[in-house]
Amino acid sequence: MQNHDGNMAAMDPMAIAAVRAREAQYQVSAKMWEASVKINCGKNNFKLIQFIVDDDVEMFGSDWQRLVCKQINIPEQYAERFWQERGKRVARMAINRRRHNTAIAMKKRFKGKTYRN
């Protein structure tokens, strides 16, 4: 929260308050977006991408990143910051968790069919 000269003391107190209010609003929104990414990637996007093997897939500007941000209505001015700070990590964890749960369910089903008497 510094002005263009790097001097925070010279900034107007109202401007400082406005910057702090915008930052607080972003933090609240980011928590909601994070929960939405977790749900959305686990349910909807798992059909599109089961494995994240390439870093290019999860980089900002990739097709998958744009789809995720569009689906949960993240404003463009916040999309890059959110994706770099939280979204990429949460999306990867949601996909990995869903893949893990699916693999366990399949193993249980196959084991049940194989070992029945």
How confident is the model over 78-110, as pLDDT tens digits? Answer: 888 888 888 888 888 888 888 888 788 888 888
Residues 6+ apart with CB under 8 A from 96: 52
Domain boundaries in the chain?
A: 13-114
Residue 114: pLDDT band (50, 70, 90) is low
Q: Taking the CB of residue 17, how many other CB atoms lie within 10 A of it? A: 10
Question: In 53-72, which positions are buried (b, 16+ CB within 10 angstroms) versus exposed (e)?
Answer: eeeebbeeebebbeebbeeb
What's the pLDDT at 68?
Answer: 82
What's the pLDDT at 49?
Answer: 66
Mean local confidence (pLDDT), 36-49: 72
Judge contact between 97 and 42, C-beta under 8 A.
yes
The mean predicted confidence, pLDDT, of the chain is: 76
